[in-house]
Amino acid sequence: MDDQLAELAAETGSDTRKVAQATEYVHRGKAFAVRHPDGAIELRLTSEIAEAARRTPDTDASARGDDWVYFAPRDWDDHARDRLEAWFRVAWRFAGE
């Protein structure tokens, strides 16, 4: 997942910053994703998209709010990687608005 996140950050021109032991992904000064040291990632979508995303495997609500989704796959298979890429791009786009 780290390689995939590095590629996505480079493609989108996202900045990263360390906050405690987590890594935040930032676009136009707004954090839209947070990578935790335990392997989970939280992504800021819209509340409607986050609600739908939470119906997929390996997701949960985030303490960050209704527009965030907590994503912690046990296995980073192709489906998990596809969801990460899609949600990262959506989160990046909304952070720029």
Domains of the chain: which residue ranges?
Answer: 2-95
| Biggest distance spanned by C-alpha atoms of the chain | 32
Torsion, CA 7, CA 62, CA 51, CA 87, rounded to 10: 0
So what's the pLDDT on residue 1?
81
State in words which class domain 2-95 has: alpha beta
**Averaged pLDDT, 52-79:** 96
Q: Is 0.85 surpassed by the pTM of this model?
A: yes
Q: Within 10 Å of residue 16's Cβ, how many Cβ atoms?
A: 14
**Averaged pLDDT, 69-85:** 96
Length in residues, the chain: 97
So what's the pLDDT on residue 76?
92
Q: What are 12-38's pLDDT values in tens digits?
A: 999 999 999 999 999 999 999 999 999
So what's the pLDDT on residue 30?
96
Asked if residue 26 lies in contact with residue 72, where contact means CB atoms within 8 angstroms, the answer is: no
**Averaged pLDDT, 86-97:** 96
d(CA 36, CA 28): 21
